[in-house]
Chain A
Amino acid sequence: MKAMKLIGAGLLLLGGGVAVAWADDPTPMSNKEAIELVQTHANYVWTLVAAVLVFFMQAGFALVETGFTRAKNAINIMMKNLMDFSVGSIAFWAVGFGLMFGTTTTGWFGTDGFFLSDYSPDGDPWVLAFWMFQVVFAATAATIVSGAMAERTKFVGYLMYSVVISAVIYPIFGSWAWGSLFHGDGWLGKLGFIDFAGSTVVHSVGGWAALAGAIVLGPRLGKYGKDGTIKPILGHSMTLAALGVFILWLGWFGFNPGSTTVADKSIALIFVTTNLSAAAGAITAMFASWAKFGKPEIGMTLNGALAGLVGITAGCANVSPNSAIVIGAVAGVLVVFSVIFIERLKIDDPVGAVSVHGINGAWGTLAAGLFNAGGTSLSLVGVQLLGIVVCFVWTFPLAFGLFKLVDKTIGLRVSPDEEMEGLDMVEHGGVAYPDFGIASHGGMVGFPGEPAAVKGLVGGAVPLKQE
């Protein structure tokens, strides 16, 4: 009895204390509001954590690109990647974000939100979180191009392109598909175009711009023999390239699931579809290269994983895990044949950017329609195809024209002597690996003056004119 009295007295005191404390709280929040606030906070945290993961993909791109290219150009690759993100951030802050997500009357481009004008210190900070998430996406599209243009592009010319893609080319198409995610209302999105995380918006835009760049530049010296034989220019580090792919794979777990910008259970499916597609892509690419060349080849297998990731990016939220495996498997085979095909067209793409991002961006977008979990239809697939085509028609000519313009004004490509010496010394006055005695024979097969027994070599390793 005494114990009960004590407990009772204690509870009374406790209740009294709580009542007093509660009475002092100036703005008592209802349960509902409190729960919504926690959810909002969770959305912020998830979106920004995802943004960090996507940011780290910049490291992935840098490593893949440098791994697949020669040591004498490693500094240049790093500088271009560094600037893609830095210049892209500023360009997207100043112009791109507004064009992509600003209020629109036409449905074709935004008209406000430039210089982050939506932000005010006592306004809703969601615009900052959203901007942060979107800027890393814009930077992804921009940095795809540096791989295809590696080892022969003037640094200044590249910087000029980088501003334009982040400020204009990427955001305007992006507004058509994604404008409604903020203040805009894009016409393509209104038609029901499905591109959850950007197979087309990000990867195809980057891929087609890369194609334009590679075509305008022409192939690297020594890449093609006089009779048209393809001569491999070996990348200087398969380990860096592989690490880069792993980092991209990791970052994609922010790229795809983060695109919900909401912290809820739907992200789980997206994680799974993303991973399964990447894995399937790596496997089928490996087998495809095994079948075609007799050995499982590292370059193709790495590209296969990336192709799977690009391929699932559009449909990651609306396809089943089983479908994700099929999508990735197709992507892996597609990328192998695409790399070979594009090389045969005399388009020199050192890292396979056009095949991984352009071609598989298109496949991923189509697949999102074909494998839609709610059922597919002709009209749905039709809208997907429309988006794919429109993206190409917008991006490729614009990028091509831009590169031609740069070429005609300040020149897009370095001189043959500069290319043979290596961009690190010529453009940046430095050496990437000063402690290592790297025999910079251009990484090409054979040394200058190698016996003619190697067929198809164009006069040693120092040809003076492009074929």
Chain B
Amino acid sequence: MKKIEAIIKPFRLDEVKEALNKLGVTGMTISEVKGFGRQRGHKEIYRGAEYQVDFVPKIRIDVVVPGDMADQVVATIAEKANTNKVGDGKIFVLAIENAIRIRTGESGKDAI
């Protein structure tokens, strides 16, 4: 099993989600995060004083899939989240030791 963590631009979420559903991904978790890579941020003003905002709002998607699906998932996310602009995000792939379904106690591949 692999866990895919993707940091993407918030407005790409719906498209990524639809595409993953079509692939057969059975569930996912998202969270609202802030971050920056090489994008840095931008200047804003508040009541006459300028300030630099480095952290940019992003969406983080966590999905756990069977190992043989991982490459497809990564490619799908990369395609749908891409806007060809700075700040599109990153995808990380991790190995998962185990997964358990809380309701039934199933573990391993049966849990995802």
Question: Complex: how many Å from CA A343 to CA B48?
Answer: 10
CB <8 Å contact, B47 and A445:
no
Stretch at the interface among A137-145, A196-204, A291-299: A291-299
- Additional A-B contact list (10), CB under 8 Å, known A293-B45, A297-B47, A451-B54: A232-B51, A235-B46, A297-B46, A299-B47, A299-B48, A300-B47, A339-B48, A343-B48, A446-B55, A450-B55
A353 to chain B, nearest CB (A): 13
CA distance A352 to B50 in the complex (A): 17
Which 10 A-B residue pairs are closest in the complex by CB-CB distance?
A232-B46, A299-B47, A230-B49, A232-B49, A293-B45, A445-B51, A340-B48, A232-B51, A454-B52, A234-B46
Residue of A nearest to B48 (CB): A340
Return A293 CB to nearest CB of chain B, in Å. Answer: 5
Q: How far is the CA of A336 from the CA of B53 in the complex (A)?
A: 23
* Nearest CB in chain A to that of B52: its residue: A454
**CA A336 to CA B50, docked complex, whole Å:** 15
Residues from chain B with a CB closer than 8 A to the CB of A292 are 48
Complex Cα distance, B46 from A293, in Å, reads 10
Give the CA-CA distance A447 to B46 in the complex, in Å.
18
Distance from A319 Cβ to chain B, minimum over Cβ atoms (Å): 29
Contact string, A446-465, partner B, CB cutoff 8 A, digits 1/0? Answer: 11001101110000000000
Given the complex, which residues of A lie within 8 Å of B53, measured CB to CB? 445-446
User: Would you call A300 and B48 a contact (CB within 8 A)?
Assistant: yes
Alpha-carbon distance A454/B47, docked complex (angstroms): 19
Return chain B residues, CB-CB under 8 Å to A299: 46-48
Tell which of A235, A343, A446 touches B49, judged by Cβ atoms closer than 8 Å: A343
- Count, chain B residues at interface, CB 8 A: 12
A428 interfacial by beta-carbon distance below 8 Å: no
A289 an interface residue at 8 Å Cβ cutoff?
yes
Q: Are B45 and A295 in contact (CB under 8 A)?
A: yes
- Cross-chain contact B48 with A293 (CB below 8 angstroms): yes
Residues of A close to B47: CB separation below 8 A: 232, 297, 299-300, 339, 343, 352
List 30 contacting pairs A-B, 8 Å CB cutoff, sorted by A: A230-B49, A231-B51, A232-B45, A232-B49, A234-B46, A289-B48, A292-B48, A293-B45, A293-B50, A294-B45, A295-B45, A297-B45, A297-B46, A297-B48, A299-B46, A299-B47, A299-B48, A300-B47, A336-B48, A339-B48, A343-B47, A343-B49, A352-B47, A445-B52, A445-B53, A446-B54, A447-B55, A450-B54, A451-B54, A453-B40
Residues of A within 8 A of B49 (CB): 230-232, 343
| Most chain A CB neighbours (cut-off 10 Å) among B47, B48, B53, B54 | B47
Interface string of B36-60 (1 = CB under 8 A from A): 0000100001111111111100000
A contact residues around B52 at 8 Å (CB):
445, 453-455
Chain A 289-328 interface 0/1 with B at a Cβ cutoff of 8 Å (1 = within): 1001111010110000000000000000000000000000
Most buried by B among A289, A339, A445, A447: A445
CB distance from A71 to the nearest CB of B (A): 16
B45 / chain A contacts, CB cutoff of 8 Å: 232, 293-295, 297
Residues of chain B within 8 A of A445, CB atoms compared: 51-53
B63 CB, min distance to chain A CBs, angstroms: 22
CB-CB nearest in chain B for A297: B45
Task: Report Cα–Cα, A455/B51, bound state, in Å.
Answer: 9
A336 to chain B, nearest CB (A): 7
Residues of A within 8 A of B46 (CB): 232, 234-235, 297, 299
In the complex, how many angstroms separate the beta carbon of A407 from the nearest chain B beta carbon?
Answer: 27
Closest-CB distance, A288 to chain B (whole angstroms):
10
Contacts of A446 in B (CB 8 A): 53-55
Residue of B nearest to A451 (CB): B54
Interface centre among B40, B49, B53 (most CB of A within 10 A): B49
A453 and B51 form a contact (CB under 8 A): no
In the complex, what's the smallest C-beta–C-beta distance from B68 to chain A, in angstroms? 36
Q: When chains A and B are docked, how far (Å) is the Cα of A447 from the Cα of B47?
A: 21
Minimum distance in angstroms from B9 CB to a CB of chain A:
19
Nearest-Cβ distance from residue B111 to partner chain A, whole angstroms: 27
Q: How far does the alpha carbon of A447 sit from the alpha carbon of B40 in the complex, in Å? A: 14
Within 8 A of A (CB), among B17-53: 40, 45-53
How many whole Å from B95's CB to the nearest CB in chain A?
Answer: 29
A232 to B49, CA, bound (A): 6
Contact B54 A453 (CB under 8 A): yes
Interchain CA distance A25-B49 in the complex, whole Å: 73
Chain B, 41-90, CB within 8 A of any chain A CB = 45-55
Of A230, A293, A297, A454, which is within 8 A of B54 by CB?
Answer: A454
Which residues of chain B are within 8 angstroms of A450 by Cβ–Cβ distance?
A: 54-55
List the A side residues contacting B55 at CB < 8 Å.
446-447, 450
* Min C-beta distance of B41 to chain A, whole Å: 9
B40, B46, B53: most-surrounded residue (chain A CB, <10 A): B46
Q: Once bound together, how far apart are the Cα atoms of A301 and B40, in whole Å?
A: 29
Q: Which residue of A lies closest to B31 (CB)?
A: A437
Chain B's nearest CB lies how many Å from the CB of A436?
12
In the docked arrangement, what's the CA distance between A13 and B88, Å?
Answer: 93
Question: How far is it, in angstroms, between the C-alpha of A339 and the C-alpha of B48 when the chains are bound?
Answer: 8
Contacts of A234 in B (CB 8 A): 46
**In the complex, what residues of B have CB within 8 A of residue A289's CB?**
48
